[in-house]
Amino acid sequence: MPLYYYRENVGGMVELLAAMNDVGVTQFVYSSSAAVYGTPSANPIYEDAQLAPDSPYGETKVVGEWLSRNAGLADGVSWVALRYFNVAGAASDDLGDNSINNLIPMVFRALALGERPQIFGDDYPTADGTCIRDYIHVADLADAHVVAAARCESSRSAEIFNVGRGVGSSVREVMDTIGSVIGRDVEPEVVARRVGDPPASTAATDRIEKALGWRATHDLRAMVASAWSAWQAFPPN
């Protein structure tokens, strides 16, 4: 798996930048990730926080930011990197998230199979003992790309922005919200922690709000409701 991430995210980025150079494309928005921060020393996380990725995926996203910066310095490319936090929800029913690695569809799948969804550890130093993440609706993320692209067009840009709500939600809060939306109790099974899961990760959004005038507009319930609507419309096999 590490080689896969390096091949796709680093090798693919090199190929993209080379192709851009060949045809004279001078602007792009890079999809980075909060994974570049690893386990943060403090929350919320600002863009100038230390980069300490603790996964191969996060490492490749750091390299992608380096490549973006160097393309700007060497070739005059205007770029913006967006560090996604936890993307959730669906912009339409035919664009649902069925990934078994993401919390909300993972819960839906477990319930559909008559199983108890799992919580990986409930002894973290948080209010309810479960991990806290900053969830961002995919439609808000799309809007962030639009304003980032406009930034690249209007000026010579070399900027990095967090993309989140600036609000943390715990795993248990997400499951409670799912239960409220679907109208049934969600009784999770607590299992051992996963290696590398930080207790909390929330975005500082001051920079993108001030520079681009962007702010997320969807709350957690809207994310869950849209994801549930998509799941019901197109249930995975």
pLDDT interval class at 100 (50, 70, 90):
confident
> Going by C-beta distance under 8 Å and a sequence separation of 6 or more, which residues neighbour residue 225?
181
pLDDT, the chain, mean: 97
- Give 43-90 pLDDT, tens digit per residue: 999 999 999 999 999 999 999 999 999 999 999 999 999 999 999 999
Q: Are strands 78-84 and 158-163 parallel, antiparallel or unpaired?
A: parallel
Question: What distance lies between CA 37 and its chain's CA centroid?
Answer: 12
- Give 139-193 pLDDT, tens digit per residue: 999 999 999 999 999 988 999 999 999 999 999 999 999 999 999 999 999 999 9
28 or 1, greater pLDDT: 28
| C-alpha separations of 160 from 31, 38, 87, 167, 170 in Å | 10, 17, 18, 19, 26
Residue 44: per-residue pLDDT: 99
- Which domains, ranges and CATH numbers included, belong to the chain? 2-233 (3.40.50.720)
Mean pLDDT over 90-97 rounds to 96
- Give 226-237 pLDDT, tens digit per residue: 999 999 999 887
57 is catalytic: yes
Identity of residue 123: D
What angle do the packed helices 171-182 and 220-233 form, to 10 degrees?
60
Out of 4, 30, 46, 57, pick the active-site residue. Answer: 57
CA nearest neighbour of 175 among 111, 79, 80, 82: 111
Count the alpha carbons within 13 Å of 95 in the hemisphere toward its beta carbon. 10
pLDDT over 70, % of the chain? 100
